[in-house]
Amino acid sequence: MHIDEAIRSRRAVKGYDPAFTLSSAEKDELLQLALHAPSAFNLQHVRLVEVSDPALRQQLREVAWGQAQVTDASMLVVVCAQVDSWEQNVGRVWEGAPEEVQAYMSGAIDTYYRDKPQVQRDETMRSCGLLAQTLMLAARGKGLDSCPMDGFDFDAVAKLINLPANHVIALMVAVGKKTIEPKPRIGKLPFNEVVLRNTF
C-alpha cells in the first residue's frame, strides 16, 4: 500500500474480529517497524508493553471504559516511556559515535533535561505519539486496522502492568481486523484554520 493511502485510510477502528490472530513474528515485525520512529537525542524513551494474556486484557478492559478493542484486537500495546532515559541511557545510545560527539551529546542532553521535569515528561509524550502513529501506519500498510486510546484509568493500568516508578504511560494502541466500518470522517476543522503561514 502506498504511504499516502495508508495515511488516508487509517481510522480509529472500534470493532475487531477476536478470531483474527497475529503470530508473534507478525506482531514483532510491526513493533520493529514502529521502533523506527524518531526520538529526541536518540534517547529512545519508549517502552512497549504488548499484552497478550487474555485475563490481563480483560482486566485492562474493565479499567478502560469497557472498550471492546482492548480484548478483541489481535494486538494490544500499552505505549509507555522511561522518563529518566536522558540520564540512564545517554552512554548507551551514543556508544559507537566519535568521542567528541559523545561528549557533546552528553553535555547537551544534561543541559536540556536536568531539573526540568516538564521537559522530561513532554519529551516522552512526543516520542510515544510518534511511535504510536508509526505503529498504526505500519499496521495499515499491511491491511490492518488500529485504534489509539487514552480512555482508561492510567493509575489502574499502571498497576496492572507493573509500571516502574520512573516510567509513564502515554496511550494504548489496538491493532487487528475490523468488524465495524468506521463512520465517515466528520467535523474536520478548515485547512486554513489549522495551517498557519509563518506566524499565528
Ligand X SMILES: Cc1cc2nc3c(=O)[nH]c(=O)nc-3n(C[C@H](O)[C@H](O)[C@H](O)COP(=O)(O)O)c2cc1C
Measured CA distances, 152 to 56, 158, 177, 178, 196 (Å): 14, 11, 22, 21, 33
12 is a site residue for ligand X (CB under 6 A)? yes
Identify the residue among 20, 102, 151, 156 touching ligand X (CB under 6 A).
151
What is the radius of gyration, based on Cα positions, of the chain?
19
Residue 170 beta carbon to ligand X: minimum distance, rounded to whole angstroms:
8
Q: Which residues are CB-contacts of 80 (< 8 A; sequence separation ≥ 6)?
A: 46, 47, 48, 49, 128, 161, 163, 167, 168, 169, 170
* From candidates 141, 148, 161, 177, binder to ligand X by CB under 6 A: 148
| Three-class secondary structure of residue 50 per DSSP | strand
**What is the SS3 assignment for 170?**
strand
Interface with ligand X, residue 18, by CB under 6 A: no
CB of 155 to ligand X, least distance (A): 16
Q: Please state, as a whole number, how many other Cβ atoms lie within 10 Å of the Cβ of residue 137.
A: 19
CB of 116 to ligand X, least distance (A): 23
137 binds ligand X, rule: CB under 6 A: no
Give residue number: closest CB to ligand X: 151
Site membership for ligand X, residue 126 (CB under 6 A): no
Applying CB under 6 A, among 76, 171, 173, 175 the residue interacting with ligand X is 171
Told to check if 149 binds ligand X by CB under 6 A, we report yes
Interaction of residue 182 with ligand X, rule CB under 6 A: yes
Dihedral of CA atoms 156, 160, 162, 163 in degrees, nearest 10, equals -40
Interacting residue ranges for ligand X, rule: CB under 6 A: 11-12, 14, 67, 147-151, 171, 182, 185
